[in-house]
Amino acid sequence: MKSLYDVVSYECSKLVTNRYSTSFSLGTRLLNSSIRTDIYNIYGFVRFADEIVDSFHEFNKEKLLNRFEEDLMHAIKYKISLNPILNSFQFTVNDKKIDLELIQAFLESMRMDLNKNNYKTKGEYQKYIYGSADVVGLMCLKVFVNGDTSKYQKLKPYAMSLGSAFQKVNFLRDLNADFENLERTYFPNLNVSSFDEKTKDKIINEIETDFDNAVKGIFLLPESSRLGVYIAYQYYNKLLLKLKNTPSKKIQSARIRVPNYQKMGVLAQSFLRFHLNLI
């Protein structure tokens, strides 16, 4: 009976989310139960694709990614896959009518990670961010609006701004790890060895602009998703503030984190503000 297999597939995507990202899983738990599974399904797919290009160094990554894409397209077409992560994702793609263009853009950015180590132009940088982050926000938005095309189009630019802001915060947080472990730099023409306060401030100003636009859209989301997205926004804002207050030399040499007790503080404060209608 496929229904049992589908449930097992959804549980696999949930497990992937919980094991790989404490902050994302925290926000997802605060979404309405009617949409939670679909968000787990999306995260499971994007996490595994990202793992292929970032972690499987002892394997032929390009072949793995090609096979992953072939299996995905087969799964979407025939509505089944023996890979439980792809099986759960195909359900959400078909049920929520997620555009294939979004999926293709995401996979294109993953392929850029196979062969590209630095971004010399703003155009290349923006293309990568669109595919690696903005489209993931748009996939989630498809779930949040539950087929309401008008609402999707209205909220689309805000979702893209939020995806961009999250990704840029990740780039700044992981500046040292990306360079040391993967030999990558994402910010255009950035020389990690000469990263200074002026460069850091320029990047942070860019992220703050994205967040200022994104937060307008959070308040327009359906109630079923508003709290979860708001908490994710507040968590990343907390991380950005920590990066802002951290000397550039330390960002250059270490990965900056928000401790778990501070994450719990963000959760409690955001939950209270939400239920007191202060957002």
Tell whether the model's pLDDT for residue 25 goes beyond 90. no
pLDDT digits (tens, 9 = 90+) for 47-82: 999 999 999 999 999 999 999 999 999 999 999 999
Rg of the chain, C-alpha, whole Å: 19
pLDDT at 30 over 90: no
Q: What is the DSSP string of 144-164?
A: HHTT-HHHHHHHHHHHHHHHH
Q: What is the mean pLDDT of residues 214-222?
A: 94
Lowest mean pLDDT among 26-30, 43-47, 78-82, 92-96: 26-30
Strands (E) across 22-156 are located at: none
Q: What is the pLDDT of residues 104-158, one digit of tens each?
A: 999 999 999 998 888 888 899 999 999 999 999 999 999 999 989 999 999 999 9
Q: How far apart are CA 30 and CA 248, in angstroms?
A: 34
Q: Can you read off the two tokens belonging to residue 234?
A: 């507040």
pLDDT the model gives residue 29: 86
* pLDDT, tens only, 160-213: 999 999 999 999 999 988 888 888 889 988 888 889 999 999 999 999 999 999
List the domains of the chain with CATH numbers: 2-275 (1.10.600.10)
pLDDT for residue 87: 98
Can you tell me the distance from the alpha carbon of 1 to that of 202, in angstroms, rounded to the nearest whole number?
55
